[in-house]
Structure 1
Protein backbone atom coordinates (compact mmCIF):
# COMPACT_ATOMS: atom_id res chain seq x y z
CA UNK A 1 0.00 0.00 0.00
CA UNK A 2 1.32 3.43 -0.89
CA UNK A 3 0.24 6.73 0.65
CA UNK A 4 0.69 10.01 -1.19
CA UNK A 5 -0.82 13.06 0.34
CA UNK A 6 -0.04 16.35 1.97
CA UNK A 7 0.89 15.89 5.59
CA UNK A 8 -1.71 17.31 7.94
CA UNK A 9 -1.30 20.42 10.05
CA UNK A 10 -3.53 21.27 12.97
CA UNK A 11 -4.16 24.34 15.06
CA UNK A 12 -5.44 24.43 18.60
CA UNK A 13 -6.06 27.48 20.73
CA UNK A 14 -2.34 27.78 21.55
CA UNK A 15 -0.53 25.33 19.29
CA UNK A 16 0.41 24.54 15.71
CA UNK A 17 0.98 20.84 14.97
CA UNK A 18 3.14 20.64 11.86
CA UNK A 19 5.29 18.19 9.88
CA UNK A 20 8.89 17.66 10.94
CA UNK A 21 11.73 19.35 9.05
CA UNK A 22 15.52 19.18 9.23
CA UNK A 23 15.39 22.33 11.34
CA UNK A 24 13.88 20.10 14.07
CA UNK A 25 16.90 17.78 14.12
CA UNK A 26 19.18 19.68 16.58
CA UNK A 27 16.60 19.97 19.38
CA UNK A 28 15.27 16.45 18.70
CA UNK A 29 18.83 15.09 18.92
CA UNK A 30 19.46 16.84 22.25
CA UNK A 31 16.18 15.52 23.66
CA UNK A 32 16.75 11.92 22.57
CA UNK A 33 20.30 11.91 23.96
CA UNK A 34 19.11 13.19 27.35
CA UNK A 35 17.76 11.53 30.46
CA UNK A 36 14.30 12.92 29.52
CA UNK A 37 13.78 9.84 27.31
CA UNK A 38 14.56 7.30 30.04
CA UNK A 39 10.89 6.24 29.98
CA UNK A 40 11.12 5.62 26.21
CA UNK A 41 14.14 3.30 26.30
CA UNK A 42 16.79 6.01 25.98
CA UNK A 43 18.96 7.95 26.11
CA UNK A 44 20.31 6.97 22.71
CA UNK A 45 23.41 7.48 20.59
CA UNK A 46 23.36 9.61 17.42
CA UNK A 47 22.83 6.72 15.00
CA UNK A 48 19.82 5.50 16.98
CA UNK A 49 18.45 9.02 17.31
CA UNK A 50 18.72 9.48 13.53
CA UNK A 51 16.80 6.23 13.10
CA UNK A 52 13.98 7.50 15.33
CA UNK A 53 13.92 10.86 13.56
CA UNK A 54 13.61 9.16 10.17
CA UNK A 55 11.05 6.69 11.58
CA UNK A 56 8.81 9.56 12.70
CA UNK A 57 8.85 11.01 9.18
CA UNK A 58 8.78 7.75 7.20
CA UNK A 59 5.66 6.48 8.96
CA UNK A 60 3.59 9.02 7.00
CA UNK A 61 4.67 7.39 3.75
CA UNK A 62 4.54 3.80 4.98
CA UNK A 63 1.38 3.82 7.11
CA UNK A 64 -0.43 7.08 6.37
CA UNK A 65 0.32 8.49 9.81
CA UNK A 66 3.39 9.62 11.74
CA UNK A 67 4.61 12.42 13.98
CA UNK A 68 4.02 16.17 14.08
CA UNK A 69 6.02 18.77 15.93
CA UNK A 70 4.24 21.02 18.43
CA UNK A 71 4.87 24.76 18.11
CA UNK A 72 3.48 27.51 20.29
CA UNK A 73 1.45 29.94 18.23
CA UNK A 74 2.51 32.94 20.31
CA UNK A 75 6.20 32.71 19.38
CA UNK A 76 6.80 29.75 17.04
CA UNK A 77 8.88 27.89 19.64
CA UNK A 78 8.80 24.10 19.26
CA UNK A 79 7.84 22.51 22.58
CA UNK A 80 7.61 18.81 21.68
CA UNK A 81 6.11 16.17 19.44
CA UNK A 82 2.98 14.05 19.13
CA UNK A 83 2.30 11.21 16.74
CA UNK A 84 1.26 7.69 15.92
CA UNK A 85 3.92 5.00 16.09
CA UNK A 86 3.78 1.70 14.24
CA UNK A 87 6.08 -1.01 13.04
CA UNK A 88 7.87 -3.98 14.58
CA UNK A 89 8.59 -2.31 17.93
CA UNK A 90 4.91 -1.55 18.55
CA UNK A 91 2.38 -4.38 19.03
CA UNK A 92 -0.42 -1.89 18.28
CA UNK A 93 -0.51 1.58 16.82
CA UNK A 94 0.55 3.93 19.59
CA UNK A 95 -0.41 7.53 20.27
CA UNK A 96 2.81 8.88 21.73
CA UNK A 97 4.19 12.24 22.79
CA UNK A 98 7.15 14.00 24.31
CA UNK A 99 7.85 17.45 25.62
CA UNK A 100 11.11 19.35 25.45
CA UNK A 101 12.74 20.42 28.71
CA UNK A 102 11.26 23.54 30.28
CA UNK A 103 7.73 23.24 28.88
CA UNK A 104 6.20 20.96 31.51
CA UNK A 105 3.05 21.78 33.44
CA UNK A 106 1.45 24.05 30.84
CA UNK A 107 -0.96 21.56 29.27
CA UNK A 108 0.75 21.52 25.87
CA UNK A 109 0.87 17.74 25.54
CA UNK A 110 -2.72 17.21 26.60
CA UNK A 111 -3.87 19.89 24.13
CA UNK A 112 -1.74 18.57 21.26
CA UNK A 113 -2.39 14.86 21.89
CA UNK A 114 -6.13 15.49 22.17
CA UNK A 115 -6.19 17.35 18.85
CA UNK A 116 -4.07 14.69 17.16
CA UNK A 117 -6.20 11.85 18.57
CA UNK A 118 -9.33 13.58 17.29
CA UNK A 119 -7.71 13.91 13.84
CA UNK A 120 -6.80 10.20 13.91
CA UNK A 121 -10.35 9.09 14.64
CA UNK A 122 -11.80 11.52 12.07
CA UNK A 123 -9.39 10.54 9.27
CA UNK A 124 -8.07 7.02 9.84
CA UNK A 125 -9.88 3.68 10.23
CA UNK A 126 -8.70 2.89 13.78
CA UNK A 127 -11.31 1.84 16.35
CA UNK A 128 -8.70 2.38 19.05
CA UNK A 129 -5.05 3.29 19.58
CA UNK A 130 -2.91 2.77 22.65
CA UNK A 131 -0.36 4.75 24.64
CA UNK A 132 2.48 2.73 26.15
CA UNK A 133 3.48 4.41 29.41
CA UNK A 134 6.39 3.37 31.61
CA UNK A 135 5.06 2.48 35.05
CA UNK A 136 7.25 5.23 36.57
CA UNK A 137 6.18 7.97 34.14
CA UNK A 138 3.42 9.54 36.22
CA UNK A 139 3.22 12.66 34.04
CA UNK A 140 2.42 10.67 30.87
CA UNK A 141 -0.05 8.52 32.77
CA UNK A 142 -1.87 11.69 33.85
CA UNK A 143 -1.96 12.91 30.23
CA UNK A 144 -3.45 9.62 29.03
CA UNK A 145 -6.07 9.76 31.79
CA UNK A 146 -6.94 13.41 31.02
CA UNK A 147 -7.48 12.33 27.41
CA UNK A 148 -10.01 9.74 28.59
CA UNK A 149 -7.87 6.67 27.89
CA UNK A 150 -8.36 3.67 30.15
CA UNK A 151 -5.87 1.05 31.29
CA UNK A 152 -6.05 -2.14 29.21
CA UNK A 153 -4.36 -4.84 31.31
CA UNK A 154 -4.79 -7.47 28.57
CA UNK A 155 -3.07 -5.51 25.78
CA UNK A 156 0.25 -6.70 24.44
CA UNK A 157 3.11 -4.35 25.27
CA UNK A 158 6.63 -3.77 23.95
CA UNK A 159 7.98 -3.69 27.52
CA UNK A 160 6.38 -5.91 30.17
CA UNK A 161 6.59 -3.04 32.68
CA UNK A 162 4.59 -0.63 30.49
CA UNK A 163 1.05 0.34 31.34
CA UNK A 164 -1.15 0.31 28.24
CA UNK A 165 -3.76 3.06 27.99
CA UNK A 166 -6.44 2.56 25.34
CA UNK A 167 -8.01 5.48 23.47
CA UNK A 168 -11.29 4.41 21.84
CA UNK A 169 -13.04 6.00 18.88
CA UNK A 170 -15.95 8.08 20.22
Structure 2
Protein backbone atom coordinates (compact mmCIF):
# COMPACT_ATOMS: atom_id res chain seq x y z
CA UNK A 1 0.00 0.00 0.00
CA UNK A 2 1.47 3.40 -0.93
CA UNK A 3 2.20 5.75 1.92
CA UNK A 4 0.49 9.10 2.16
CA UNK A 5 2.40 12.24 2.87
CA UNK A 6 1.23 14.37 5.75
CA UNK A 7 0.32 17.78 4.40
CA UNK A 8 1.43 20.92 6.14
CA UNK A 9 -1.69 22.86 5.25
CA UNK A 10 -2.56 25.15 8.12
CA UNK A 11 -6.28 25.80 8.46
CA UNK A 12 -7.23 29.15 6.96
CA UNK A 13 -9.11 31.93 8.66
CA UNK A 14 -12.05 32.86 6.46
CA UNK A 15 -14.04 36.01 7.10
CA UNK A 16 -17.57 36.57 5.87
CA UNK A 17 -19.86 39.53 6.34
CA UNK A 18 -20.86 38.35 9.84
CA UNK A 19 -18.59 35.44 10.75
CA UNK A 20 -15.01 34.37 11.32
CA UNK A 21 -14.21 30.76 10.42
CA UNK A 22 -11.07 29.65 12.26
CA UNK A 23 -9.09 26.59 13.26
CA UNK A 24 -10.43 24.53 16.16
CA UNK A 25 -8.53 24.73 19.44
CA UNK A 26 -8.72 22.53 22.55
CA UNK A 27 -10.87 25.14 24.29
CA UNK A 28 -13.63 24.50 21.71
CA UNK A 29 -14.11 20.92 22.87
CA UNK A 30 -16.51 21.47 25.82
CA UNK A 31 -19.18 23.19 23.68
CA UNK A 32 -18.63 20.70 20.84
CA UNK A 33 -18.99 17.77 23.25
CA UNK A 34 -22.15 19.29 24.76
CA UNK A 35 -23.69 19.58 21.29
CA UNK A 36 -22.79 15.99 20.44
CA UNK A 37 -24.20 14.76 23.77
CA UNK A 38 -27.54 16.46 23.06
CA UNK A 39 -30.54 15.14 21.18
CA UNK A 40 -29.62 17.62 18.42
CA UNK A 41 -26.82 15.23 17.43
CA UNK A 42 -29.31 12.51 16.52
CA UNK A 43 -29.04 13.49 12.84
CA UNK A 44 -25.29 12.83 13.01
CA UNK A 45 -25.40 9.36 14.55
CA UNK A 46 -25.54 10.66 18.13
CA UNK A 47 -25.96 11.48 20.86
CA UNK A 48 -22.32 10.72 21.67
CA UNK A 49 -20.57 10.19 24.98
CA UNK A 50 -17.45 12.24 25.80
CA UNK A 51 -15.10 9.62 24.32
CA UNK A 52 -17.03 9.52 21.05
CA UNK A 53 -17.16 13.31 20.87
CA UNK A 54 -13.39 13.51 21.44
CA UNK A 55 -12.79 11.05 18.60
CA UNK A 56 -14.90 13.14 16.23
CA UNK A 57 -13.24 16.38 17.37
CA UNK A 58 -9.77 14.88 16.76
CA UNK A 59 -10.94 13.60 13.36
CA UNK A 60 -12.03 17.12 12.43
CA UNK A 61 -8.65 18.55 13.42
CA UNK A 62 -6.51 15.74 11.94
CA UNK A 63 -7.98 16.11 8.48
CA UNK A 64 -6.00 19.33 7.98
CA UNK A 65 -2.71 17.41 8.26
CA UNK A 66 -3.97 14.38 6.34
CA UNK A 67 -5.93 15.98 3.50
CA UNK A 68 -5.37 19.74 3.54
CA UNK A 69 -8.94 20.46 4.61
CA UNK A 70 -11.08 19.84 7.66
CA UNK A 71 -13.24 21.64 10.19
CA UNK A 72 -13.39 25.31 11.11
CA UNK A 73 -15.19 26.83 14.05
CA UNK A 74 -17.83 29.49 13.36
CA UNK A 75 -17.18 32.57 15.49
CA UNK A 76 -19.30 35.67 15.81
CA UNK A 77 -17.38 38.98 15.89
CA UNK A 78 -17.99 39.01 19.67
CA UNK A 79 -15.80 35.89 19.96
CA UNK A 80 -18.70 33.57 20.77
CA UNK A 81 -18.47 30.26 18.92
CA UNK A 82 -21.78 29.46 17.18
CA UNK A 83 -20.85 26.05 15.72
CA UNK A 84 -18.67 24.35 13.17
CA UNK A 85 -18.41 23.89 9.42
CA UNK A 86 -16.11 21.39 7.75
CA UNK A 87 -15.04 19.28 4.84
CA UNK A 88 -15.06 15.66 5.92
CA UNK A 89 -13.03 13.03 4.13
CA UNK A 90 -11.33 9.74 4.70
CA UNK A 91 -12.37 6.10 4.71
CA UNK A 92 -15.78 6.83 6.28
CA UNK A 93 -16.89 9.14 3.46
CA UNK A 94 -17.33 8.06 -0.18
CA UNK A 95 -16.80 11.70 -1.27
CA UNK A 96 -15.63 14.90 0.37
CA UNK A 97 -18.54 16.14 2.46
CA UNK A 98 -19.42 19.73 3.28
CA UNK A 99 -21.03 19.60 6.72
CA UNK A 100 -22.16 22.04 9.39
CA UNK A 101 -23.54 22.17 12.90
CA UNK A 102 -24.91 25.12 14.83
CA UNK A 103 -25.00 25.27 18.62
CA UNK A 104 -28.23 25.86 20.54
CA UNK A 105 -29.26 29.49 20.63
CA UNK A 106 -27.65 30.32 17.28
CA UNK A 107 -30.05 28.54 14.92
CA UNK A 108 -32.26 30.34 12.43
CA UNK A 109 -29.89 33.25 11.82
CA UNK A 110 -28.32 32.01 8.57
CA UNK A 111 -24.95 31.19 10.14
CA UNK A 112 -24.82 27.65 8.73
CA UNK A 113 -25.57 28.82 5.18
CA UNK A 114 -23.10 31.71 5.36
CA UNK A 115 -20.30 29.58 6.81
CA UNK A 116 -20.91 26.63 4.48
CA UNK A 117 -20.97 28.87 1.40
CA UNK A 118 -17.68 30.46 2.43
CA UNK A 119 -15.97 27.10 3.05
CA UNK A 120 -17.44 25.63 -0.16
CA UNK A 121 -16.05 28.53 -2.19
CA UNK A 122 -12.66 28.22 -0.47
CA UNK A 123 -12.62 24.46 -1.15
CA UNK A 124 -13.45 24.76 -4.82
CA UNK A 125 -10.49 27.12 -5.15
CA UNK A 126 -8.11 24.44 -3.84
CA UNK A 127 -6.38 21.77 -5.91
CA UNK A 128 -7.72 18.26 -5.40
CA UNK A 129 -11.28 19.23 -4.50
CA UNK A 130 -13.39 18.60 -7.55
CA UNK A 131 -16.70 17.66 -5.95
CA UNK A 132 -18.49 18.21 -2.66
CA UNK A 133 -21.61 16.60 -1.27
CA UNK A 134 -23.59 16.98 1.94
CA UNK A 135 -24.95 13.84 3.61
CA UNK A 136 -28.21 14.78 5.33
CA UNK A 137 -30.56 12.77 7.51
CA UNK A 138 -33.97 12.94 5.76
CA UNK A 139 -35.60 14.09 9.04
CA UNK A 140 -33.19 17.02 9.46
CA UNK A 141 -35.34 19.73 7.86
CA UNK A 142 -32.96 22.53 8.85
CA UNK A 143 -29.95 20.93 7.14
CA UNK A 144 -32.03 20.14 4.06
CA UNK A 145 -32.98 23.82 3.91
CA UNK A 146 -29.31 24.86 4.24
CA UNK A 147 -28.25 22.51 1.43
CA UNK A 148 -31.01 23.86 -0.81
CA UNK A 149 -30.14 27.49 0.03
CA UNK A 150 -26.58 26.69 -1.02
CA UNK A 151 -27.90 25.56 -4.42
CA UNK A 152 -27.11 21.87 -3.91
CA UNK A 153 -29.34 19.31 -5.59
CA UNK A 154 -30.37 15.80 -4.60
CA UNK A 155 -28.20 13.06 -6.10
CA UNK A 156 -30.13 9.83 -5.56
CA UNK A 157 -27.43 7.72 -7.24
CA UNK A 158 -24.50 8.89 -5.10
CA UNK A 159 -22.78 6.59 -2.62
CA UNK A 160 -23.40 7.49 1.01
CA UNK A 161 -21.98 6.38 4.36
CA UNK A 162 -25.48 5.77 5.75
CA UNK A 163 -27.95 4.21 3.30
CA UNK A 164 -30.77 6.30 4.78
CA UNK A 165 -29.06 9.66 4.18
CA UNK A 166 -29.95 12.06 1.40
CA UNK A 167 -27.02 13.24 -0.72
CA UNK A 168 -26.98 16.86 -1.83
CA UNK A 169 -24.41 17.66 -4.53
CA UNK A 170 -22.74 21.06 -4.61
CA UNK A 171 -21.81 22.17 -8.10
CA UNK A 172 -18.40 23.61 -8.79
CA UNK A 173 -18.85 27.25 -9.85
CA UNK A 174 -18.04 28.05 -13.47
CA UNK A 175 -14.61 29.64 -13.80
TM-score, normalising length: structure 2? 0.94
Aligned counterparts of 2:126 and 2:90: Cα–Cα separation in 1: 20
Aligned counterparts of 2:152 and 2:12: Cα–Cα separation in 1: 23
TM-score, normalising length: structure 1? 0.97
Q: Give the CA RMSD over aligned residues.
A: 0.8
Q: 2:104 aligns with which of 101, 120, 128?
A: 101
The answer on whether the counterparts of 1:127 and 1:168 sit within 8 Å (CA) in structure 2 is: no
The superposition leaves residues 54-76 of structure 1 with CA deviations (integer Å, 9 ceiling, x where unpaired) of 00000000111000000011x11
Aligned residues: 169
Q: 1:56 aligns with which of 54, 60, 70?
A: 60
Aligned equivalent of 1:11: 15
Aligned counterparts of 1:102 and 1:93: Cα–Cα separation in 2: 28
Shift of residue 6 of structure 1?
A: 2.5
Aligned equivalent of 2:159: 156
Aligned equivalent of 1:112: 115
The answer on whether the counterparts of 2:74 and 2:81 sit within 8 Å (CA) in structure 1 is: yes
Query: Relative to total residues, which structure has the larger strand share, 1 or 2?
Result: 1
Shift of residue 12 of structure 1?
A: 0.4
Shift of residue 87 of structure 1?
A: 1.5
**Structure 2 unaligned residues grouped into runs of 5+:** none
**Structure 1 unaligned residues grouped into runs of 5+:** none
Q: 1:89 aligns with which of 82, 86, 92?
A: 92
Aligned counterparts of 1:48 and 1:19: Cα–Cα separation in 2: 20
